[in-house]
Structures are given as structure tokens and as C-alpha cells.
Amino acid sequence: MPKSDIHPTWYPDAKVYCNGKLVTTVGSTKPELNVDVWSGNHPFYTGTQKIIDTEGRVERFLRKYGMVDSSQEQKSDDAAEK
């Protein structure tokens, strides 16, 4: 027999907020949840993902596997000279 009064209160309609806007309702042990990222603003789901090229790693990878055409190489060489 389970012990009584050891489980948290369950809120079946807990509100989820992102940037002060109501996003959705879910079941939770807290009545309100504040999140920074959810599927509506995450780059993976929205398709606005950007590749951040730190220290030329992406460019080096593309060159290594021959995925860069000559017009892209010219642009990157011009940017490196500036």
C-alpha cells in the first residue's frame, strides 16, 4: 500500500510561458512553468538554424570534402583578406 501524503500536487493544466506569453498547457507538479526555449522558437524546429563558423572549422570541413564551389571560395578568401 503506498504511503499517503508523500506525492506532490499534480496540476493537469499547468501553463507554460515563454517570454511572458502563454505557449501551451501540460501536466506538471508546478502550476506555472517559465521556459526560455520551446519547439515554437527553437532553431531546429523553425528552420532558422545558422551555422556559426568558429575558427574556420566549417569552412575547413567543406573544403576537405569538396563541398565548396569556386564562387564560395572566392568570397571566403576576400573576407579573410579584409
Give the H or E element holding residue 24.
strand 21-28
Examine the domain organization and report whether 3 and 40 are in the same domain.
yes
At 81 the pLDDT is 58
Closest CA to 32 of 43, 48, 21: 21
Q: What is the CATH number of the domain that holds 24?
A: 4.10.80
Average per-residue pLDDT in the chain?
A: 80
Scanning the structure block, which residue is given the C-alpha cell 512553468? 33
User: Span 48-52, mean pLDDT?
Assistant: 68
Amino acid at 47: G
Instruction: Give the three cell numbers for residue 80.
Output: 579573410
Examine the domain organization and report whether 12 and 41 are in the same domain.
yes
Q: How confident is the model at residue 45 (pLDDT cuts 50, 70, 90)?
A: confident
Number of separate domains in the chain = 2
Q: How confident is the model at residue 42 (pLDDT cuts 50, 70, 90)?
A: confident
Task: Give the domain range for residue 1.
Answer: 1-48
Examine the domain organization and report whether 22 and 61 are in the same domain.
no
Examine the domain organization and report whether 33 and 6 are in the same domain.
yes
pLDDT for residue 17 is more than 60: yes
Examine the domain organization and report whether 39 and 2 are in the same domain.
yes
Cβ neighbours of 45 (radius 10 Å): 12
